[in-house]
Each structure stands twice: as C-alpha cells, then as structure tokens.
Structure 1
Amino acid sequence: MRRHPSDPTGRTLVTDEHRQSPAAAVFDALGAAYEKAFAGSEAHRRSLEWLLGRLAPGSRVLDVGSGTGRPTAEALAGAGHEVLGVDVSPVMVELASRQVPSASFRCADIRELPLEENSFDAICVYFSLLQLDRHEQTDVVRRLVRALTPDGRLVLATVPLDVEGVEAVFMGQHVRVTSFDTLDLVAVAEEAGLDVLEREETLFTPAHPDAGPEPHVFLHCRRRDTVDA
C-alpha cells in the first residue's frame, strides 16, 4: 500500500484503497478489544523477556503488526530501546501512538515498506502475517532478515496450522487465514537466514466471547552472519 498523506492536524488520512484492505478493516473493527483479548498471554510475555535479555542498551527494534502498542512496543520502549511499530490499521496506529508515546508508529503495509539492510538490532513479528499468502509470508520474512544487523534477533509467532486461504471468524470478524505448521515455519525461518535458538508451543484462549482455544508457536531466532541476497 502507498504511504498515506496527513492533514494539517497531523492525523493520518486514509485512502479508499486502504479502507478496502481486509486486514485493516478487521483490526480497525477490533481496536482495543484485541489488546484485552490477548493481554493474558504468558507465552508472549516470556517471549518479550527472552528478547529483552539479549538486546544491548538503546537497540533499534521493528515491531511488525504493532497493534495497540501493548505489550510489545510498550515493553521494549520502556526498557530504553528505540522502537518503530508498523501496522496496516489506522485505528491501531492511533491507539498505539496514544498509549506508547515513547515509541514511533507508522500506518503502512510491511510488504511495501522500504527496509534498509542491517538497520534493526531486533524485529518482532507477533501473529501479524496470518492474512498474507504463503509466498508473501516467506518473502516478508526474508526481507526482515536482511533488515537485521548481523547476529540480530527476530521473534516470529503464529498460529501453527497447515491452512491456506481458509475462511474463518476471529473475534466476530470474518477473515481469510493462511499459515504454516511448526516444522514448515521453522524451515521458512532457516531458509531466510535465521538460526532458531528456542521455540515454545502453547494453547491459548483469548479473553473474548467469540474466541476459542488456539495453538500458538513462538520462534526465537538469530540472524546468521551471512544472509543470501
């Protein structure tokens, strides 16, 4: 998606093209309800602790699919790191900017966001690729790895199911979901130039009346010294 202009007040202007984005529409509708539903994820908290324990002071971190800014951007910025959050939903970006003023947030599509090589010490990808097809997910992971500094860290989390283009209802919203099972996700990460150092698989039920138990997997990775272009 194209970068969106701003009005004189500094608010993001949303084009018709952006309004038609399925992911933007879903997360615009969910807003703060998404944060509340997933606030109880202990595995997500453990994942952030893993990352925080391995970052040098003042590290530059990219949060892909930053949502409301909590808990990821808030925890990282609160520890003194320079955080850039990117989300396709203007509602989420507005919430995050208000809730985590110590981080920066952009309304953009990660597939088209320019990323300089070796520019981030760490990248977080928490459940933000599920509405992309498998080719897009694989390409995004490769681009993100190239944006990491050598030996940089990347955390990748998803719902590990072998599904492609499946229609589903998520917290009352109709979505089209594509994912990899755990072993295939590990292969995607390794082929992109990551070493998977640790992984955690768990079952989590979001705190929402329309949500049921869902499997989660967290891959904690490090960029290899050499990454193919």
Structure 2
Amino acid sequence: MPGRLHGTTRGDRVDEDERRAPAAEVFDALGAAYEEAFAASEPHRASLRWLLERLAPGSRVLDVGSGTGRPTAQTLTEAGHRVLGVDVSPVMVELAGRQVPEAAFRLADIRELALEGDSFDAVCGYFSLLQMSRAEQAAVVAKLARAVRPGGLVVLATVPLDVEGVEALFMGQPVRVTSFSAGAFTELVAGAGLSVLAEEQTVFTPAHPEAVPEPHLFLHCRRDAG
C-alpha cells in the first residue's frame, strides 16, 4: 500500500500519535476505495502466485501494510496459510478483519512492532514503505529479513523513484513520499541478507479518477542462511 507508514510530525513535539497520524488519516480516508483502485493489478497477483508456489502447507506469513486484507491476506488464507496482517490505519484493520476473518490483523506501526527472529516462513510488504524515511526503510527491511526463518521468503513491492520527502497527491490525499531507484532498493534488500530470486518492473494506473500511472517494482527474495 503506497505511503502507509509515514513518520512525519505536526509541530515540534514528537510522540507516537503524531508520528502515526498522517498515514493513518490518509488510509482511513481511502478505505475500500484503495482496494478498488488496485484490484486490477495483475503483477501483484502474479507475485502472490510466485509465493504460493514456494510455500509449504500451513506456512506462517506476515503481511506488512495489510490494508483491506485483499488480495494478499485473502489469497494466502484461502491457500491454507496462517496470516498475521499489520497496518497503521484503524479503518483498514477493521475492514480486513471483516473481509478476511480467517487471518489475524493487528493495528500497529511496523517500525515500532517487536518481531521475534526466525518466526515466519514468509513476509510480504506490498507498497508499505513509501512514507518512511530512507533510514527507516532500511531498518524495516532488515527487521523483516530477521523475522523470517533462514531460507524463508520475503516479497517486497515499491514505487522505484529516486525521491526523498516529496509532497504529492495519492488518490486525492496529500502524502510525503520517499523512495529509492530500482537499483538502490535492490542493493538495500541485498544488504539486509536477502537474495533476490526474481523481480518484475511494470507500470500500473490505479482505477481512480485522480490516479496517475505508477512504476512498480516487485522483488521476490529468500533469506540467506547463516
């Protein structure tokens, strides 16, 4: 979900509510419209098929930025996997819980959430880094790599642009976006101890009157042993 976990503040005082509010407000406002806008993304569904082909039955999967629960959590639970979804938006968590009751969803900021090492068979993070700083993105990717068992799978998707702190509109909502070029993001992922097994670059236009074409990068990775 582009822009889900923004870490800017209002005013000089920094506290947890202020850090979470901008992203939560954006995706609380979008709600089910986000799912409708991205429902036609075939590369996202192809990425999920790639993951399903490699997961053992009953795998434990973490879905970071789980949104409405569809398509990621729903696809995985329908295949018999155990899914924990994490999102910073209360509206999204409530929607996901209703739409995908077979999964568990938690209202939390992945930057702050404690994750036990080697505790998941796979981790998904579809467009959930874009409102973090570059340092935060690097730290979160490293955290997710540690959370998956050695040999486990990590699937990440982002908008590969060399931008930092750029003000933009996303489906009519003001956001501040930070990202990496495709090469720089791939280097970041490799530096976290992940081997990139496959990648897909595409351009997708969300089904929304205020949307514009977006470059998308999908990385399909395995945590290195040792």
- With the length of structure 2 as denominator, give the TM-score of the two structures: 0.92
User: Structure 1 residue runs of 4+, over 3 Å off?
Assistant: none
Per-residue deviation at 1:17? 1.9
Q: Paired residue for 1:180?
A: 180
Counterparts of 1:144-223 in structure 2, within 5 Å, are 144-223=144-223
RMSD: 1.5
Per-residue deviation at 1:18? 6.5
Structure 2 counterpart of 1:172, one-letter code: G
Q: Paired residue for 2:11?
A: none
Q: Paired residue for 2:32?
A: 32
Q: How many residues align?
A: 213
Counterparts of 2:194 and 2:19, CA distance in 1: 34
Per-residue deviation at 1:21? 1.5
Q: Does 2:84 match 1:84?
A: yes
Structure 2 counterpart of 1:93, one-letter code: V
Q: Does 2:101 match 1:101?
A: yes
Counterparts of 2:207 and 2:19, CA distance in 1: 27
Structure 2 portions without partners, runs of 5+: 6-15
- Determine helix, strand or coil for the equivalent of 1:35: helix
Q: Does 2:122 match 1:122?
A: yes
Counterparts of 1:153 and 1:35, CA distance in 2: 24
Counterparts of 1:156 and 1:92, CA distance in 2: 20
- The change in CA–CA distance for 1:20 and 1:128 in structure 2 (over 3 A counts) is closer
Counterparts of 1:23 and 1:163, CA distance in 2: 18
- Determine helix, strand or coil for the equivalent of 1:51: helix
Per-residue deviation at 1:150? 0.8
Measured against aligned partners, the alpha-carbon deviations of 1:148-185 in whole angstroms (never above 9, x if no partner) come to: 10100000100000000000000000000000110001
Identity of aligned residues (%): 70
Q: Paired residue for 1:11?
A: none
Counterparts of 1:152 and 1:107, CA distance in 2: 25
Structure 1 counterpart of 2:171, one-letter code: M
**Structure 1 contact 19–25 (Cα < 8 Å) conserved:** no
Counterparts of 2:218 and 2:20, CA distance in 1: 30
- The change in CA–CA distance for 1:87 and 1:79 in structure 2 (over 3 A counts) is same
- With the length of structure 1 as denominator, give the TM-score of the two structures: 0.91
- The change in CA–CA distance for 1:114 and 1:20 in structure 2 (over 3 A counts) is closer
Measured against aligned partners, the alpha-carbon deviations of 1:182-219 in whole angstroms (never above 9, x if no partner) come to: 00010000000000000000000000000011100000
Structure 1 counterpart of 2:122, one-letter code: A
Q: Paired residue for 2:17?
A: 17
Counterparts of 1:224 and 1:173, CA distance in 2: 38
**Structure 2 contact 125–155 (Cα < 8 Å) conserved:** yes
Measured against aligned partners, the alpha-carbon deviations of 1:46-85 in whole angstroms (never above 9, x if no partner) come to: 0000000000000000000000000000000110000000
Q: Paired residue for 2:10?
A: none
- The change in CA–CA distance for 1:36 and 1:18 in structure 2 (over 3 A counts) is farther
Structure 1 portions without partners, runs of 5+: 2-15
Q: Which has the higher contact order (CA 8 A, sep 6+)?
A: 2
Counterparts of 2:18 and 2:108, CA distance in 1: 9
Counterparts of 2:201 and 2:79, CA distance in 1: 26
